[in-house]
């Protein structure tokens, strides 16, 4: 047999770089997509924190307007029927 007929075709450098570039672009797209998802999660968390702070302030103002000492609410425990 002729050794030239058994040899596999070799890839050109351009083909190798083209495949590498394609893989890199795909990976970059995946990372960008993940980054966008995380940015949305961060935005949602920050918005929730703002809402909870506002809610806390409103509740504190309501307690103050009712003249309820804040220390009474900080250490409250639930009494069972046996303790009453």
The pLDDT, as a whole number, for residue 83 is 55
Q: Does 22 fall in a domain?
A: no
Q: What is the DSSP string of 1-36?
A: --HHHHSPPPPPHHHHHHHHHHHHHHHHHHHHHHHH
Mean pLDDT taken over the chain: 82
The pLDDT, as a whole number, for residue 67 is 82
**pTM for this predicted structure:** 0.56
- Mean pLDDT for 7-24 is 85
Q: Does 35 fall in a domain?
A: no
**CA dist., res. 51 & res. 45, Å (int):** 10
Q: Does 56 fall in a domain?
A: yes
Q: Does 23 fall in a domain?
A: no
């Amino acid at each position: 047999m002729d050794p030239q007929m058994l040899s596999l075709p070799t890839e050109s450098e351009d083909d190798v770089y083209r495949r590498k570039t394609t893989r890199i672009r795909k990976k970059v797209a995946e990372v960008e997509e993940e980054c966008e998802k995380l940015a949305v999660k961060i935005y949602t968390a920050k918005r929730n924190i703002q809402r909870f702070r506002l809610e806390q302030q409103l509740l504190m103002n309501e307690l103050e307007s009712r003249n309820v000492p804040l220390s009474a609410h900080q250490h409250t425990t639930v009494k069972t029927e046996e303790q009453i």
